[in-house]
Structure 1
Amino acid sequence: MRPPARPRAAGTARPRPEPEAAEVETLRPRPGRARGGARDEPAPARPPRRAGTTSRPAQEPQVAVVPAGRDDVVSDRLADRLAERTAMARHRFWRRLGWTVAALAAAAALVWGAFFSPLLALDADQVRVSGEGTTVDAGEVRDAVTAHAGVPLPRLDTVGLREQILAMNAVKDVHIARAWPDGLDVVLTSREPVAAVPQSGGEHALMDADGVQVATVREVPDGLPAIRVSLSDGAAGHRALDAALQVLGALPRTLAGEISTVSAATQDDVRTTLSDGRVIRWGSGDEVELKIRVAETLLEAEPSARTIDVSSPALPVTN
């Protein structure tokens, strides 16, 4: 007899037994037409299982196991890397500091050598003065320059030295250039007199083309014409003198060397007398270059003419 069945608790179901392999194969749907006329797709074929092999379970994720003492090794390596980086940073810092100090020292040496050392100091024997002409005292100019001997050329005040030389008599312009490493070139432009103006006491004032008095002499130098003009008329006399000097300053060297005297009663009546007695009437100092070309042409074309009037250069007159 079967033992009586044990009562089940409410809400529980009896577990079904697992089907056998043969039953599974029986229960698997076969290819063919299913209910409703639709054909079932054939199930993918499984690869044949080799004899003697068993199915392997799915591989589980591997977990690295850190052996004992591994943390200490990692810490030591990190400490070594940190120390290495610190040492490299310290090395870069000291290297940059060294280069900076070296550059500053080189700059300081360069400044000292250029501005304070005797390497570039002005040597009095290396001072060259030229262009003094006939009226500038070259010795006075040289003394003014050599007074700065021993001063390094970069520190030499050439602007102040130029003003000092320009204040000297008969100096019209001056150019100062440093001649490295220890010399100085001074090129002068002198005021050359073009006429002598009689003064009281029998003296003559040597005047340049700009009307600047460059010297005072007792005797008129050879080849320099004397201007006969009355300065007692005040402004009118000075205007007449300026007109005469303007004409004389524009004359070429060949023609100026033939002039013996110059007279200017007014600023519009400038006359020059040549060494052979011929007279050229220039009028005023206007259009003086055109007047000079006309006068030179007439002097060659009419050598017998005693008076050449070019006061109106477009209508010259000779007699």
Structure 2
Amino acid sequence: MARYRVWRRIGWTLLAAAVVAGLVWVTFFSSLLALDPQQVRVSGQGTTVDVGQVRAAAKDEAGVPLPRIDTVGLREEILAMNAVKDVRITRAWPDGLDVVLTSREPVAAVPQPGDVYALMDAEGVRVGTAEDVPENLPSIVVPLSDAEPGRRALDAALEVLGALPPTLSADIRTVSAATQDDVRTTLSDGRVIRWGSGAQVPLKIRVAQTLLRAEPSATTIDVSSPGLPVTS
């Protein structure tokens, strides 16, 4: 009886080891959970991200079981692509990946040498180039420059533009920023809003919207000091 119990214990141990080994093989080495490129779902690309480039990066992992896919490395590769601000990658069992992107969307076109425009997002990252100003974007009268004052002026203008609500940003045609403390926007009807610097932008927006409604005949609205706005 003692010998029987020993062999039975050994038998159960071997069986358990075989089951574990089988599960490990199925999970990490078999094709049962291998990535199918057709099951890679990409969303959030916006208007700027090349979805084909994202899919190509994921396709390099085709045939690799999902548990063995280096999602950290894949995320870093996608983040290095132009116009990708952030990305979240999750395994979609049994054989797919969900890639959720946060794209960098342009808020303005900046004139460049050679009669082209750099399309910039609110953080000052170039996300594209165009020969003409896109219809839905304002142009900024601040050239891209390595000079610190010019860069600060551009950053201030982009900070203002990036904070504007869609109803107001859609009505802006041009932006100028001679200095970082003199950001101005011109609306489609010719009215000018002087924002000053990029400080207190949410408060300045509320004041500007109130004055646009309250004084429709004003040609200039100055909210550079939002506590003491001026119209003319």
Equivalent in the alignment of 1:158:
71
1:240 paired to 2:153? yes
The two structures have a TM-score, normalised by structure 2, of: 0.98
Deviation at 1:246, TM superposition (A): 0.2
Query: Among residues 49, 52, 58, which one is paired with 1:145 in the alignment?
Result: 58
Q: Which residue of 1 aligns with 2:132?
A: 219
SS of the residue 1:135 aligns to: coil
Superposition CA RMSD, Å: 1.0
More strand by share: 2
Task: Give, in whole Å, the separation in 2 of the partners of 1:176 and 1:89.
Answer: 54
Aligned residues: 232
Contact 2:111 / 2:141 at 8 angstroms: preserved in 1? yes
Instruction: Provide TM-score, normalisation by structure 1.
Output: 0.72
Match of 1:251 among 152, 159, 164: 164
TM superposition shift of 1:232: 5.3
Contact 1:230 / 1:265 at 8 angstroms: preserved in 2?
no
Identical-pair percentage: 75
Give distance in 1, aligned partners of 2:57 and 2:142: 37
CA distance in 1 between counterparts of 2:136 and 2:101 reads 23
Segments ≥4 residues shifted beyond 6 Å: none
Task: Give the direction of change, closer, same or farther, for the CA distance of 1:204–1:110 in structure 2 (3 Å limit).
Answer: same
Q: Once the 2 structures are TM-superposed, how far is the Cα of residue 177 of structure 1 from its aligned partner?
A: 0.7
Q: Tell me the CA shift for residue 230 of structure 1.
A: 4.5
Which digits, 9 at most, give the CA deviation of each residue in 1:140-187, with x for residues without a partner?
111111121111000000000000000100000001011000011101
Q: Partner of 1:97: helix, strand, or coil?
A: helix
**1:310 matched to 2:214:** no
Give ranges in structure 2 of 5+ residues lacking alignment: none
Kindly provide the CA deviation profile for residues 83-125 of structure 1, in whole angstroms up to 9, marking residues without a partner as x: xxxxx21111111111110110000000000000010000111
Aligned to 2:17: 104
1:233 shift after superposition: 7.7
CA distance in 2, matches of 1:231, 1:198: 8
* Aligned-partner Cα distance in 1 for 2:124–2:173: 19
The aligned counterpart of 1:115 is 28
Relative contact order higher in (CA < 8 Å, ≥ 6 apart): 2
Runs of at least 5 residues in structure 1 that lack an aligned partner in the other structure: 1-87
Distance across 2 between alignment mates of 1:189 and 1:231: 25
> What is the alpha-carbon distance in structure 1 between the residues aligned to residue 18 and residue 200 of structure 2?
66
